Every structure is written in C-alpha cells, then in structure tokens.
Amino acid sequence: MCRSSKVLGYDLLSLCLEGPQGRTGCRATPRGPQRPSARGRWLTLGLGCVSVQVVESCVAAAGYSVGEFAALVFAGALDFAEALYAVKVRAEAMQKASEAVPSGMLSVIGRREANYKFACLEARKHCESLGIENPVCEIANYLFPDSRVIAGHLQALKFLQDNARKYYFTRAKMLPVSGAFHTRLMEPAVEPLAEVLKSIEIQKPLVCVYSNVDGKKYMHSKHIQKLLVKQVVSPVMWEQTMHSVYERKQGTEFPYTYEVGPGKQLGTILKKCNLKAWKQYKHVDVLEDEEATET
C-alpha cells in the first residue's frame, strides 16, 4: 500500500486508475469539495505532476482551495503525509457541515453593471421572507473579471437564478457540489482543521506561496497556520492572487506557468486575468502522461 493510501485509509491508486469518475471527480479542477476521497486525490496527483518538472528556477506557487496544501508541500512548508492527513480531516469536516444545511454554489458571469454584493443582499432578504434565520448568500470565489461563484442557502441561489436579468447576470449556473464552501456555513469545520494544524510542523516556504484568503505571500509558519484555517470560511481570492503573482515592471518578461493535475480551468482563468502571462502557460496532467506512455 502506498504512503497516501495509509494516511487516507483507502486504496488511492486504485481509486485514481479505476474510478468511478463520480467518486474521484476525475476531470475537473476542484472549485469546491466534492467528496472527501477527491480532496486527497487532488493533493497527491498535483504533487505527482510537480515532481517531474524542473523546479530549481521556480519563483512562486499558488493553489486553488484545497490545492493550496499541494503548493505548500511543494514549497517545503508542509510534510506530504501530514498535509494529506490535514486535507482528509478538512474534507470530512466540510462535508459534515454541508450536510447540516441545504446549500450550494452558483457560478455567475455578469455584465459590468453587475453588483454581486447587492444581489446577495437581496437574496438574503428573500430568504428571510421565507422564514430562514441568518441566511447565507455571499461571494465564495473571485475567479476573473465579471466572474464570481456565489454560495449559500439553496433558496437564495434559486432567487438569483430566477432574477438573473435584474442583476445583470449573463449566466447563473449551479455547480455540482454539495455545500456552500468558503462561506460561514463551513464554520463547524474550522475547529477540526485548526486542531490538526496545531500538531503539524510548518516551515517557512522555500519559494513564495500566495494565500487564497488575501492574495498575498505567506510570511511565516504561524501565518500559514492561521490563514489555512481562515480559508475554510473565506472567499477564494483567485483573481486577486493572479494579479499579485504576475505583477511586474513594464517590459519585464513573464515566467513560465505550469498548471499541474487534472483539468485546465485555472489556465482558462489566467487567460481572462492576464493574457500576456497566459502565453507562457502549460498544463501538466500525470494521468494524460501515463496514458500517452501506455499507448
């Protein structure tokens, strides 16, 4: 049994190679937790791809949501097995929290006139009119200009879909996830993850790693511990992170960018955020590499 399987308590290799796809979340970069088994797979596959790259000249790393753990392992801040166990605890706690309240996530693309926060406010007022106490409807992911993921009570998300034109949304599509991840509905998952991270030795990253919480570089081990916990209930500031990573003086060349693991969604987002940086982008998928080798 491989090291990952011992930590997770199931045969990760068989799960990756044989599926079923519904359980592994096989071909999509995770924009929110699917099943607890999928999150461990993202961490392992992402690092499996990284291990074949030339990393000596790497200047920065970032990971989307659970991918941030992979970025920190890559940067030497977290031990692989300890990070994998933390991901397992995080996944199970978030899944449990999601089962407590009927909730979800809505992918939205809006026109320039769109006011996402105002739309969320009105959706919360709608929920209150239905008798829902302390309703949640807020931005959970900042993806690229004019694109957000809004998460919260299902009634709020349905209200936004039904009134998409009023709020200048050109698209409002429910995501196939089971909860309102990266919102305060995930508060029950905070303590379990915090306790695990207290027991883990965290080092200062060897390369710059950018946090999902504020789009800025991690400064030290306590900073990492604090923000990994905060990330569970905070929006993923991915658009802001892309601007921070690629900020440079005019005329300076952009570095090569590698997206590792299944799916090319982050590359698509980068293209929307910074076309010049995207021109140096490459996707690496360990499963595709294996398939090519076998054929």
State the helix-helix crossing angle for 67-74 and 80-100, rounded to 10 degrees.
170
Q: Report residue 197 as tokens.
A: 């991270």
Does residue 16 have a pLDDT over 70? Answer: no
Band (pLDDT 50/70/90 cuts) for residue 290 is very low
Which residue, 292, 285, 258, 295, is CA-closest to 16?
Answer: 285
Alpha helices (H) along the chain: 3-8, 12-18, 21-24, 36-50, 67-74, 80-100, 116-129, 154-162, 190-198, 221-231, 238-245, 265-273, 275-278, 286-294
pTM greater than the 0.75 cutoff: yes
pLDDT digits (tens, 9 = 90+) for 182-211: 999 999 999 999 999 999 999 999 999 999
CA separation for the pair 13, 1 (Å, rounded): 9
Residues forming the active site: 65, 182
At 253 the pLDDT is 93
The domains located in the chain, with CATH, are: 48-98+184-246+255-284 (3.40.366.10), 102-175 (3.30.70.250)
Question: 85 and 234 in contact (C-beta within 8 Å)?
Answer: no
Look at the alpha carbons of 62, 263, 38, 100 in this order and tell me if their dihedral is positive or negative. Answer: positive
Which residue, 165, 149, 204, 163, is CA-closest to 32?
Answer: 149
Which residue, 164, 19, 61, is CA-closest to 27?
Answer: 19
pLDDT > 90: percent of the chain: 74
At 262 the pLDDT is 80
At 104 the pLDDT is 98
Residues paired with residue 103 on neighbouring β-strands, in sequence order: 153
Who has greater pLDDT, 52 or 79?
Answer: 79
CA separation for the pair 35, 278 (Å, rounded): 31
Cα torsion through 244, 242, 252, 72, rounded to 10:
80
Band (pLDDT 50/70/90 cuts) for residue 270 is very high
Does residue 53 have a pLDDT over 80? Answer: no
At 24 the pLDDT is 32
pLDDT, mean over the chain: 85
CA separation for the pair 213, 68 (Å, rounded): 11
